[in-house]
A and B are shown apart, each in its own frame.
Chain A
Amino acid sequence: MIIKSDPLQATRPPAGAGVAAASGKSPDVVSQRAALRPVSGPAVTVGGRSRDGSPVRRAVRAVGPAALIVLLLLVGWQVAVMVTDVRPQILPSPLRVLEQGWLNRDDLARHGLSTLGVTLIGFSVSLAVSWAVAVTVDFVPWLRRALVPLLVGSQTLPIIAIAPLMIIWFGFGLLPKVLVIILTTFFPVAIGLIEGFASADRDTGRLLASMGASRWQQFRYLRLPGAMPRFFTALRIGITYAVVAAIFAEYVGATSGLGIYMSMQKNSFRTDLVLAAVVVTAMLSITLFALTYLVERLVCPWYRRGRGKADGRG
């Protein structure tokens, strides 16, 4: 981490040679200082590190408190089950959940992969539809007024009532699950994009207009990249909803997947395996959620590098 300073300011005494002479800073001194800068580089890095910590340390500090709480709860749960001697069909201990989950890892993996596949397919279709609608709405303003109420409406549909109907209409295949995922995730993503496009800086829009930019160029150079932060927020909300939606659709009726697995284990009073499936679901959601940050870094490298100062721009 080398602090880049303004070369103009670094190599030239501040406005007017008189000022520099009065303060005893000859240009030579200034250039000497500039020459010394690489030496001071590592010192700055060390200073930065002691403040931010190593990556491992930072990670520990980020997830540490949450992990500690979870651990305490699990220990409390384990102790409570051992003390009260409650039947495992009612409340299994965390260790039992772990043990039984491990013994049934093949089943859990198979159903987990099935759920992951449904989630990814459904969410991809949902993303494609959201993008198509959001871009269309951005170019045709009256469509925005026409469609946004419909989007809000789609979000108020009680999925718990619609999902069984989907099974009746479209069977146990992929289609009803994809539809349930779209119904659940389309709204946050589309709204995030529509508002992201609309949030484009007006002055920058005028600047582009003065350069002779077409509506398409305005979109490409300004509205689209400007919408990225909001899009990724919406993406994070969407992907977690998508996992829940997939499991719910499977729960209502499927041939494989964590949803139907939980339903079956519940019916045979295997509470421990239901909870093991819940753990797998949580891991799935967290992994997908974390992946959105990775994608964000790849798509928006500026977001991390210029953070803070860039946000203060307007």
Chain B
Amino acid sequence: MADRWLQADPLVRADPLVRADPLVRAGDPVGSELAFPSALARGSRDAATARGELTLTSVSKVFGTPSGLLPVLDGITTTIRRGEFIAVIGPSGCGKSTLFNVLTGLEVPDAGRVELDGKDITGSLGHCAYMPQRDLLMPWRSILDNTVLGLDVQGIPRAESRRRAQALFDQFGLQGFETAYPGELSGGMRQRAALLRTVVQDREIVALDEPFGALDSLTRTELQDWLQRVWQQHDWTVLMITHDIREAIYLADRVLVLSARPASIVRDLRVPLRRPREVRGVTATEFVALEAELVELLHCSASAAD
């Protein structure tokens, strides 16, 4: 596992996509054997589906409330391959967050199983790195200390955890802000710091709960664009809750559309758009067609709730 992080840095610097980015220092050495274009990396990853496959089988959850039982999840079944980017959309209050809590192990489903490579991980913590809606950076920790929070919890020695996080600072546009406090950063930077804190934990699954929901639209577009690039360079399996249909199509390989509560998957939509996708592409015919389809689906789910 640790090797992945050692490699991550040269891989990134050697990537032609990144070299075009002025963020990356021009003088960095290029040309190790890892210097293959990101498209190849994705291809080889798609072939290696044996490891890191997440399976949800008939996951159901019912909450007991004073006014009776409240079914929230109703037989969620899906398979997520390693390196896939999945967007989860659905009407408000349909149970997306509960689904995430089940994934992270914070809640145990009443029925069904969560499996990772066939191993039952239902209700067990430590497989899923979770990024909540708010950045939740601790105001008393410097940015570097904030990003290593998960590693501190795991008991990883200080020097080692800080070295791992530090290696990602460049790519996350946070270099030079290691000792700054969260209160001194802009919203976009705080969100990137929160994402760094999530991925540096090196879990099998990265779960993002509306990561850009609280940002202004310009910063959001910028971060979506950036997230797509860093995701392509890494080996992350991402599940992202979003309310933004364009964001879902722009970023995801597949979009899971949930019904109103109790949530079930009403549609598992593959997004066949080529990568890297561009922000300008949102006006392309395929994009608009997908968007229309999703709007229609969501409209149906939402009205079914009334």
Chain A residues near B (Cβ < 8 Å): 4-9, 11-12, 14-16, 18, 27, 31, 201, 203-204, 206-213, 217, 221-222, 225-226, 228, 300, 302-303, 305-311, 313-314
Q: Which residue of the partner chain A has the closest CB to B142?
A: A302
Contacts of A207 in B (CB 8 A): 130, 132, 136
Chain B residues near A (Cβ < 8 Å): 21-23, 104-106, 125-126, 128-130, 132, 134-142, 149-150, 152-154, 173, 175-177, 180-186, 188-189, 192, 201, 218-219, 221-222, 225-226, 278-280
Q: Besides A302-B181, A309-B182, 11 other CB < 8 A contacts?
A: A4-B176, A9-B188, A12-B21, A12-B22, A15-B222, A16-B279, A203-B134, A221-B153, A302-B140, A310-B183, A313-B139
7 A-B pairs with C-beta separation under 8 A: A7-B173, A14-B222, A206-B132, A302-B140, A306-B139, A309-B184, A311-B139
Question: Nearest Cβ in chain B — how far from A193, in angstroms?
Answer: 16
Interface centre among A15, A27, A225 (most CB of B within 10 A): A15
A206 touches B183 (CB 8 A): no
Question: Nearest Cβ in chain B — how far from A271, in angstroms?
Answer: 50
B280 touches A16 (CB 8 A): yes
B184 touches A4 (CB 8 A): yes
Question: Nearest Cβ in chain B — how far from A201, in angstroms?
Answer: 7
Contacts of B278 in A (CB 8 A): 16
A217 touches B176 (CB 8 A): no
Distance of A9 Cα from B201 Cα, bound (Å): 26
Distance of A14 Cα from B219 Cα, bound (Å): 8
- Given A6-B186, A11-B23, A207-B130; A213-B153 close (CB under 8 Å): yes
Q: Which residue of the partner chain B has the closest CB to A18?
A: B280
Question: Nearest Cβ in chain A — how far from B26, in angstroms?
Answer: 12
Distance of A275 Cα from B27 Cα, bound (Å): 73
- Given A8-B222, A306-B181, A308-B183; A209-B106 close (CB under 8 Å): yes
A201 touches B188 (CB 8 A): no
Contacts of A307 in B (CB 8 A): 183
Contacts of B279 in A (CB 8 A): 15-16
B138 touches A222 (CB 8 A): yes
- Given A11-B23, A221-B153, A308-B183; A210-B222 close (CB under 8 Å): no
